[in-house]
Structure 1
């Protein structure tokens, strides 16, 4: 008997090699999903545009869905109502999946009702072999993530999540660190290692006024943070490090752009007042679309002081705009350090101050060279076209239509 009965089932039931329907489950299709929204949106778009595949995206409806739906263009979007915000309980989800009749289901994220719905869909096959699904964990099995709300996740694991993960035909990791976390969780499924991607193109955002222009002198350099305002992002450490480093360098300002989560912005603003650095730190609120591009293009450098990440899209975006980066090793992008596109920052106050000091000491030409190296990395290693091709190859293998691609790990 096969070690992976789901794979054997998919081999027996695969349809025409030139037709493939995939349904993607996402927690949200809006800004509430953070960088995961852009990952799912771009992956689905490039899969449809460059391969013989139809993708349906199913997400839980929220207050931002009507506005952010436009970001998905012509993608096939299906929204379901949730009766529990945190768990994403959506009773109509199973009916929606049945009506779409996908060959393969791809779940993005774990620890919610989406996991329950995926297993139910897999088993609801008229008593025959289960339908195949795969799971992208998006950093949610990393040690920091598991420790956060630890007991809730232990209970969720017993209740439904381990079953969801253990029965997946394949688990998607975005890098080797995440693959190691998947194995450390005790999972023995096949794992595909495929990074997140980023679009690299010309931008005229330098001709637009950045959101901090009214509050900062034009001759001051800008260090940009963009993302959720959450304790996991290490911003309180960054601010304390900024206090230490800034007393030696007055030519920079720190711009913190992002949406508040759990009242953390208020805590950070209070910290800037306590540290007496409020005149060199600006909070802009969330930035999307052209405003986001404008921020990247008008910043002089980018910082991500996270305590835990899967693979942060914002760093890839900064590199795509040729911006030098300060980041922790927990961002899981070691190629940035190896290729001279990033300055390493340890997740301590002294580590933040030291990394900031290195940044402040760089001449303009050195900053520009670091940014060029980052852009080269984005183009060479993180092209969405190549990433979609790799994922398509995994889909074909899961359905028994091809040999396993090189991105697969079996031990």
Structure 2
């Protein structure tokens, strides 16, 4: 089996999508499948400092970067498209990452031309909120390009049961459910929070509420600001950590939300955190919050739960299973609902810790990259053999 992944970007500033792609590659490659990735050197307003037009060998896969023209997450790479024309026939299946991306739309057309089956992972971009954001542009693009090329795919990977339902509501039938995961070994031993305190000393001795995600309109920071202001009024030792990259220039607006809510002095914006510093932030935190309007299936939520944190997430995060398992507070997309759940956790610390313990075990048992890799390999083999998609994945 020889698989080609294609993503318009894997720069860290693009958040969970990039992490999911590389983690899946590692998981699939570790099971003995030959897997390559082609992508661009886009990285927000900058570019990655990587060799171009040559294979770079990672532990379980190869990656090749191509130059591109890009503005924010709108990316076009003529050199990558040219490479696909010459090389796509060397693969049994192509797995594309995200939609509403010109390079990906062209990839699907190339696959159809050469009769190479392809699988599409939308990464939440077909969710109702995502479709309504900049709706008129997306409607035109969707009708001209996306609808037909997605219909022609061999499978569409949804990452949550809600996303599966929403994709099916768009009259797509060839869907499979393969959730994201975490590497269990990264969370079996928690990191030293001192690393985080040293870099952000204003957080030492505080009750920390952690937001871990991109600074982006869909992440619900406009809801979190007034919600946290209510919390801060009752718990003056509470401190909010907003950890994540700003790759679309949204930071000033986000900070203004907290300024207007009167709680900016109790908020630390760290910028992007990764590696040791990210794990230290998770270890230092007392609570995790994800006030999103829309998600595909958030890796950072899985990381918060795997760290044993009591988590407050909205139903826009598409994780009803967490509520069913009593492993997280899943609330409405509403300021008061978010504030009340945070206040409940802070008012009942023992109960909150018990929920965090349940969350940790729930993630370890159900949401790892090993699980995801095994499921996707079964999907690949089914597509290659031209058989019906596995029923238990639909």
TM above 0.5, yes or no, is yes
The residue aligned with 2:227 is 241
CA-atom RMSD, angstroms?
A: 2.3
**Per-residue displacement from partner, 1:17-68 (whole Å, max 9, x unpaired)?**
xxx11111112121133101111111111111113x1111111212353379
2:92 maps to 1:103: yes
Q: Distance in 2 between matches of 1:322 and 1:372?
A: 5
Q: Distance in 2 between matches of 1:306 and 1:381?
A: 23
2:49 maps to 1:66: yes
* 1:315-330 correspondence to structure 2 within 5 Å: 315-330=301-316
Asked which structure has the greater CA Rg, the reply is: 1
Q: Distance in 2 between matches of 1:181 and 1:210?
A: 39
- Secondary structure of 1:407's aligned partner: helix
Q: Distance in 1 between matches of 2:111 and 2:203?
A: 58
Deviates more, 1:110-119 or 1:291-300: 110-119
Judge conservation of contact 1:224–1:256 (CA < 8 Å) in 2: yes
* 1:183-194 correspondence to structure 2 within 5 Å: 183-188=168-173, 190-194=174-178
The residue aligned with 2:370 is 385
2:32 maps to 1:32: no
* 1:254-403 correspondence to structure 2 within 5 Å: 254-363=240-349, 365-400=350-385
The residue aligned with 2:34 is 54
2:142 maps to 1:133: no
Task: Please state how far the C-alpha of 1:299 moved relative to its aligned partner.
Answer: 0.8
Match of 1:113 among 83, 86, 102: 102
Task: Please state how far the C-alpha of 1:372 moved relative to its aligned partner.
Answer: 1.2
Task: Please state how far the C-alpha of 1:400 moved relative to its aligned partner.
Answer: 0.7
Match of 2:164 among 160, 173, 179: 179
Q: Distance in 2 between matches of 1:248 and 1:87?
A: 43
- Secondary structure of 2:39's aligned partner: strand
**Per-residue displacement from partner, 1:362-396 (whole Å, max 9, x unpaired)?**
22x33322221111111111021121001000000
TM-score (norm 1): 0.87
Task: Please state how far the C-alpha of 1:186 moved relative to its aligned partner.
Answer: 2.3
Judge conservation of contact 1:87–1:112 (CA < 8 Å) in 2: yes
Q: Distance in 2 between matches of 1:167 and 1:402?
A: 16
The residue aligned with 1:13 is none
Query: Number of aligned pairs?
Result: 383
Task: Please state how far the C-alpha of 1:235 moved relative to its aligned partner.
Answer: 1.0
From the superposition, tell whether residues 176 and 217 of structure 1 become closer, same or farther in structure 2 (CA, over 3 Å): closer
Q: Distance in 1 between matches of 2:142 and 2:279?
A: 39
* 1:153-232 correspondence to structure 2 within 5 Å: 153-188=138-173, 190-201=174-185, 202-203=188-189, 205-206=191-192, 208-210=194-196, 214-216=200-202, 218-232=204-218
The residue aligned with 1:4 is none
From the superposition, tell whether residues 55 and 71 of structure 1 become closer, same or farther in structure 2 (CA, over 3 Å): closer
* 1:2-21 correspondence to structure 2 within 5 Å: 20-21=1-2
Task: Please state how far the C-alpha of 1:118 moved relative to its aligned partner.
Answer: 2.1
From the superposition, tell whether residues 207 and 140 of structure 1 become closer, same or farther in structure 2 (CA, over 3 Å): closer
Gaps of 5+ in 2: none
**Per-residue displacement from partner, 1:270-313 (whole Å, max 9, x unpaired)?**
33233321222111111011111111111111100001111111
Match of 2:80 among 93, 102, 111: 93
Q: Distance in 2 between matches of 1:154 and 1:304?
A: 28
